[in-house]
Structure 1
Amino acid sequence: MSLLKLFVILSISGLFLVVGYGIFINLFDFLEINVTPLPFCPEISPLTVGIQPVKWQIQTWYSMMENQTELQPGGHYTPQNCKSRHRVAIIVPYRNRNAHLRIFLNNIHPFLQRQQLDYRIFIIQQLKTGPFNRGMLMNIGFTEAQRIYNFTCFIFHDVDLIPENDKNPYNCVDSPRHLSVAVDVFKYQLPFKNIFGGAIAMQADQFKSVNGFSNQFFGWGGEDDDLFNRVNKKMMSIFRYSEEISRYTMIKHVKQYPNPSRFKILKESNYEVDGLNSLNYKLDLIEERNLFTLVAVDLKPA
């Protein structure tokens, strides 16, 4: 076999490169520097800066996309220079809050990126009219997110809460975490010790063990208290960082009409039969937009 013919065969196979007349090297050795796994990101990101003012200007979708050139489709981000220690799904229940959503996204993306997280934002939109069911939307977000990626942490987050301090880590620990400890409308103090709403973080097995949120709370109120009870029944403690770290600003909005039956539903709630295992909804679409993954659904009573 001629040298030329041998060179053609090896070149086609992709195993060798010619770097000079009659000199061959293994292609995989040549590219070794490019296939070396990235190092893990530091335990504490060096990019965090502490308390930052909320960016209140409502940006256009186009301008926000221009500022987020490193985002992958669906609002998915991974650090370029290191491998994140956390794969985080941000689950946001949503309906008819366009201005709030734009403020939220404009603040939350740089916040999460400074923490060097591997994350994706899911906006779970309730279609049609009727009472809003925050708990069921959270359950749907958890269910659909698991089908897309192997997340290690799920953060259930209201669209009107903006974190102020990026040293408040958006990750999960061995206990369920209450993130939004100190909110401006409560004078940056914990209103009561049993509160477990606004923004929380749970590992998948923790959320499954309590069977997720109740699906019964149509209208404002009750689902957070019920989730606290579920966590308590499973003998799990709730972890919180200090009020200085866990600071949030709430976007002003018109309060929803309270669910008049919330106390009765709360009293009769049974986490074993009401939750992830009784979830009933119609998936209208899943769409990977530039800044987030949209999950649009019609809700059905459990």
Structure 2
Amino acid sequence: MSLSRVENPCFLLFLFVFQAIFIVILYRGGPSNVFRGLLDSHQALDYSKTHDVYTNLSLFTQAPDDEATPYCSVQSPIFVGPLTITFRVLPSERTIIRKNPFVQPGGRYRPPHCLPRYKSAILIAYRNQEKYLHHLLYYIHPFLQRQQLSYSIYLIQQVGNGTFNRAKLLNVGVREALKDEDWDCLLLHDVNLVPENDYNLYVCDEYYPKHMASAMDKFQYTIRLAGMKIVRTSPHLGRYKVMDYNEETDTQEPWRRPTSRHNTGKTWKDDGMNSLEFKLLSRTKHPLYTNITVDIGYVPPFS
């Protein structure tokens, strides 16, 4: 390399920019995270102009038998961004099934037109929230299909009169879902939250837990308690609508429940998958989800 080239201001500027990009790639955990961040920051999002979640979903059709099935594109060709979400009309199960013809028993879906790049399991803790469930299933199935994911939806249902224990039910869901598939990602989902943007990718980060509902800061205390590093979806993508039918206290949103009288600060390291005890009562494949009914033992009510 000649001295005159090194001293060239344009070349020095190019070298500086190249090194900066390289450092960002290393810092953010690889190229995929960097490009995802660029997408998040440059995607024009106007929530005053929303689209039906089923828009262009019919373009994903069964591939001909005589053609080799390709891998799904890195970015789905039918992304629209902000979605129209309304809870005014309660959809019936028959309507949801009709609008999602490629969903298999157990709430399982694989793209019919391409080989999926990611496999995600959606785990939902549940008890007596049928209205919430119907709305969520109506939106979450096409939402996931738009992202060209292979996925399955698991409903973990608690029986008995004890206090609703969301955390333990989700631990049960993790264990049961892993019996079916070596999932790339396990997403812990509330039954009354519906995502508003199909660019909010339901795939996991390469290194850290990922907080999907980034606009809901009230969830953050659980992460700080465990001392975990997390990745948060950009606020303009991680937007969710919250359903509220004024249910009983133990089936309300997590941030509205009273604080447990258990000393979580001392028990969180030991109270989890390594100490999980439950009785599996049934495991049934419904048309839109897999229902896992469990007895987790008596949970005392809040004082």
Q: TM-score, normalised by structure 1?
A: 0.70
CA contact (8 A) 1:226 1:266 kept: no
1:256 aligns with 2:249: yes
Give the secondary-structure state (helix, strand or coil) at the position aligned to 2:263.
helix
- Uncovered stretches (5+) of structure 2, i.e. residues with no partner: 1-63, 251-256
Distance 2:194 2:230 in 1: 21
Distance 1:78 1:97 in 2: 27
Alignment of 1:1-302 (within 5 A): 34=65, 38-56=69-87, 57-174=89-206, 175-182=208-215, 190-191=216-217, 195-196=219-220, 225-230=221-226, 232=227, 236-254=228-246, 256=249, 258-262=257-261, 265-271=263-269, 273-300=270-297
Q: One-letter code of the match for 1:115?
A: Q
* 1:227, distance to aligned residue in structure 2 (A): 5.0
Q: One-letter code of the match for 1:256?
A: T
Bigger CA radius of gyration: 1
Distance 1:138 1:119 in 2: 17
Instruction: Please report the RMSD computed on the Cα atoms of aligned residues, expressed in angstroms.
Output: 2.1
Structure 1 runs of 4+ with >6 Å offset: none
Give the secondary-structure state (helix, strand or coil) at the position aligned to 2:142.
helix
CA contact (8 A) 1:280 1:301 kept: no
Q: One-letter code of the match for 2:209?
A: P
User: 1:18 corresponds to which residue?
Assistant: none
CA contact (8 A) 1:284 1:298 kept: yes
User: CA separation of 1:270/1:163 partners in 2, compared to 1, >3 Å: closer, same or farther?
Assistant: closer
Q: One-letter code of the match for 2:225?
A: N
- Uncovered stretches (5+) of structure 1, i.e. residues with no partner: 1-32, 183-189, 197-224
User: CA separation of 1:228/1:290 partners in 2, compared to 1, >3 Å: closer, same or farther?
Assistant: farther
Q: TM-score, normalised by structure 2?
A: 0.70
Percent identity over the alignment is 35
CA contact (8 A) 2:194 2:240 kept: yes
CA contact (8 A) 1:55 1:106 kept: no
Matched length? 227
CA contact (8 A) 1:95 1:126 kept: yes
**Deviations along 1:97-129, whole A, 9 cap, x unmatched?**
001100000011111100000000001000121
**Deviations along 1:256-301, whole A, 9 cap, x unmatched?**
2644544x52222241x22101111111111011000000111126
Give the secondary-structure state (helix, strand or coil) at the position aligned to 2:168.
helix
Q: One-letter code of the match for 1:141?
A: G
**Deviations along 1:71-93, whole A, 9 cap, x unmatched?**
11101011011111110000000
